[in-house]
Amino acid sequence: MSDPPEDMMIPIAPLPDGGCVGMRLKADEEGNRQVMVGEFLPIKEGRPILGDILQGAPIDGTPYLALTTEFEHPNPFRSKSGGKVFSIPSARFQKGWDRIFKNKPVPEDDPVVN
């Protein structure tokens, strides 16, 4: 194999519904490879789409598939800016939160206590 594709999948084990467990190797903007392991499932009517929609093409002489992304699933945990998704509240926010909620009594029978 000459130059590997930027996005490829290595099938690991078949699944009963026609999909497989596989390892995805995807190059980021700097050329570093991200390794992801997961289920690669065929699209079926009535089943929700929980990830990217990928098209796979065999790479000659190998068991690997070159992947092209047909649709990138909107993922709230994936940051486009490269920054952190979760953040720590500022001191100003925490002070306001404490002012409103700190001494508020919580009913003992409340099933949804944080």
pLDDT digits (tens, 9 = 90+) for 7-54: 999 999 999 988 899 999 988 888 888 898 989 988 888 888 878 888
Domain-wise residue ranges, the chain? 7-75
Per residue in 57-92, pLDDT tens? 999 989 899 999 888 877 655 555 554 444 567 888
Neighbours of 22 (CB within 10 A): 23
What's the CA gap between 81 and 77, in Å, rounded? 12
User: What pTM was estimated for this model as a whole?
Assistant: 0.57
